[in-house]
Amino acid sequence: MIVTESLSKRYPRVTALDRLSVDIAPGVTGLVGANGAGKSTLIKILLGLAPATEGTAHVLGLDVTKDGGTIRERVGYMPEHDCLPPDVSATEFVVHMARMSGLPPTAARERTADTLRHVGLYEERYRPIGGYSTGMKQRVKLAQALVHDPQLVFLDEPTNGLDPVGRDEMLGLIRRVHTDFGISVLVTSHLLGELERTCDHVVVIDGGKLLRSSSTDEFTKATASLAVEVTDTDAHPDGTEALRAALAAAGAVVSAGGPGTEGFASPGHVLFVEAAGEQIYDVVRDTVAGLGLGLVRMEQRRHQIAEVFRDADARTGAQAEGSGTAGQDAGRPAPVGGGNGA
Ligand SMILES: Nc1ncnc2c1ncn2[C@@H]1O[C@H](COP(=O)(O)OP(=O)(O)OP(=O)(O)O)[C@@H](O)[C@H]1O
- How many whole angstroms from 118 Cα to the centroid of ligand 1? 32
Q: How far is the CA of 289 from the centre of ligand 1 (A)?
A: 58
Q: How far is the CA of 331 from the centre of ligand 1 (A)?
A: 22
**Predicted local confidence at residue 264, as pLDDT:** 60
Pocket of ligand 1 from Cβ distances under 6 Å: 11, 14, 16, 33, 35-41, 80, 157
Atom of ligand 1 nearest to the CA of 208: 14
Q: Is the pLDDT of residue 122 over 70?
A: yes
**The pLDDT of residue 269:** 79
pTM: 0.73
Can you say how many angstroms the Cα of residue 307 is from the centroid of all Cα atoms in its chain? Answer: 14
pLDDT score for 9 = 95
User: What's the pLDDT at 280?
Assistant: 86
Residue nearest to atom 5 of ligand 1 (CA): 11
Residue 266 is predicted with a pLDDT of: 63
Question: Does the interface ipTM go beyond 0.90?
Answer: yes
Query: What residue ranges define each of the domains in the chain, with the CATH number in brackets?
Result: 2-219 (3.40.50.300), 224-301 (3.30.70)
Ligand 1 atom 1: the closest Cα is on which residue? 11
Q: With 60 as the cut, is the pLDDT of residue 306 above it? A: no
How far, in Å, is the centroid of ligand 1 from the Cα of 37?
A: 7
Higher pLDDT, 113 or 297: 113
What average pLDDT does this structure show over 121-146? 94
Residue range 261-269: average pLDDT?
62
**Whether the predicted pLDDT of 229 surpasses 70:** yes
pLDDT tens figures, 147-157: 999 999 999 99
Nearest CA owner, ligand 1 atom 24: 35
Q: Ligand 1 centroid vs 24 CA: distance in angstroms? A: 22
